[in-house]
Structure 1
Amino acid sequence: MPEGDTVWRTARLLDSALAGRVLTRCDLRVPRCATADLAGRTVLDVTPHGKHLLTRVEGGLTLHSHLRMEGAWRVYATGERPRGGPSHQIRAILGNTERTAVGYRLPVLELLRTVDEAEVVGHLGPDLLGPDWDPREAVRRLRVAPERPLGEALLDQRNLAGIGNVYKAELAFLAGVTPWLPFGELPPGVPERLVATAHRLLEANKDRPDRRTTTAAGRERLHVYGRAHRPCPRCGTPVRGTGPRDVSDRVDYWCPGCQKGPTPFHD
């Protein structure tokens, strides 16, 4: 699933292509929006909120989309043939005289009044890349359930918005604990440092497609994510990973040498 930095870049791409321009084409290929036509309206802005995208158009309307696992927005010169997948996977087309944005495999696409945006994003915690980022509120929300595993708490967008599986694994590594350690068992000061690190990493990566959480120059961009059976770049211990039990499960990664705490294994 795209994480907050990826969604931020997508929003900037769409905003650059659409904002301030009149839509000459609008094709929303989902049943609940099939009769809607935004052509003739000016796009005001495209704003990210956590992992959500809000495309606001004049007349007080917002097109809300979410990429989840497989969704993607692509931008082409108007008249250029889209290349993001077969045509039957297209869920939205928004075009002006110069650029056309095409949404592929979007699992969430809905049109709502701009004043009602809170209905789809109001439940989210502080946005790590938002203008109103509030680290103290993020820590407060995380502490509400001290028994909850750290990784699970970080992925809950109601606590703080923008973290996905990659950052979950990397943040747990940088904190020196496994993703299964109950949040309330983190040493004093670690929750605050963890949240500050999350903000720093997303800020650092929002403008570059090759995400990096390591500070040392070299080929290794990540500490543990996707590195099962390979040596930890810090201590050399083979990184471990959990295999998903089914397609809905997330894979976890951790270094047994650098991270302390419970694991799913008993060895």
Structure 2
Amino acid sequence: MSIGTFLAYQLEPLLNSFKAFLILMLLFFFVTGIFNAVWASLINNELWKLLENGKILGSILISISVLGFSSFLVFLIICTMLYLCGEAFRMHLLFLIINIISIIGDIVLLAFSIHYSSKSMEDKYLSSFSNLLNQNDIPDVIISWQSSQKCATISSCILKAENYVHKRIFIGFVFNIVLVACSVISILGLLATILLMSLIKPVDRNVSTSENDDITGNSESSDKQTDLQRQRRESEIEIDQSELQT
């Protein structure tokens, strides 16, 4: 049995795997857009823009969110096209190209967000925050933040600043690493499934179909033989009964 013939028998599991990776990819785009939109809303403010590289991180998160939502919508449109034109090779090729471009774009932006939310960058944000607190002319945004945090001394405000920065950086850092892992798993799974399905040739499908037809034909012939044997037995019983009556 060739590899193609073997895979022809596994066509249904392969299709199920393909659908599962597609759903995972769809969830990846949606969750990426939602999470980074929420994260951007937490740090895209005047206070964070005063910190070193704070504005860059906010712009990256907005870009990730926009790309995630747009990829999600394009993904739905292409899935609909695939459903309506499932036999069209160009539809599959278009889907694969756009899908890979979207994933690569998300991975690149997520990598930048991971870099700008790493521990070293967190220390830079905190150092910049401390410098703002120690200035003689403290910005109004920092004064408003001090009032909201109810910290009267510089040392207490620095502790509050550490907590403020860490909460907004650490969760996003970990979650975006998970998103990158999910995207890599999705694209590798899709490529592997498509590669395996490409090994199935029309002759392999014909062999699988003909063998299934043979099995069906054999079962039908055995059923016919059983019916003939039953009819013969019934006729023999009727003959015996008629002889006994005579």
Same topology, TM > 0.5? no
**TM class by smaller structure:** under 0.3
Higher strand share: 1
TM-score where L is the length of structure 2 = 0.23
Structure with greater Cα Rg: 2
